[in-house]
Amino acid sequence: MQPPESPVICRNLKINGRRTSLRMEQDMWDALNHVAALQGVAPAALVSEVDLQRGEASTTGALRVYLLRYYREALCRVMEMEEVRDEFPRLAPAPDYVTVQ
């Protein structure tokens, strides 16, 4: 199966005191915005944090890996919760509450 084509979008950000350009697909920009919102930080702040820890990798490359790992770890947590939930017997649905007058 071929992945859908997604044009690369260039955006300018100020990270760690310097202005830089990042080139990523729209899906990656969407993921960056989503993860930053979940963490309660601005996208540029998240990129700055990744940039400080990137080592020899490019900022864009390090950011892609960070986002992939973030979603992979989130999926693992969801799968673990489902496994725990499956160990418990299914409960009957809660009855509708009746207001006593």
Averaged over 60-81, what is the pLDDT? 90
Q: What is the pTM of this model?
A: 0.74
pLDDT at 4: 67
Averaged over 65-80, what is the pLDDT? 89
Domain contains 92 = no
Domain contains 72 = yes
Domain contains 96 = no
For tokens 């725990």, what's the residue? 84
* Full residue range of the structural domain in which residue 16 is found: 8-87
Model confidence band, residue 81 (pLDDT cutoffs 50, 70, 90): confident
Averaged over 69-94, what is the pLDDT? 75
CATH number of the structural domain spanning residue 24: 1.10.3990.20
What total of structural domains would you count in the chain? Answer: 1
- Tens digit of each residue's pLDDT (9 = 90 or more) over 14-57: 999 999 999 999 999 999 999 999 999 999 999 999 999 999 99
Q: 65-68 — which CB contacts under 8 Å span 24+ positions? A: 67/28, 67/31, 67/32, 67/35
Domain contains 40 = yes
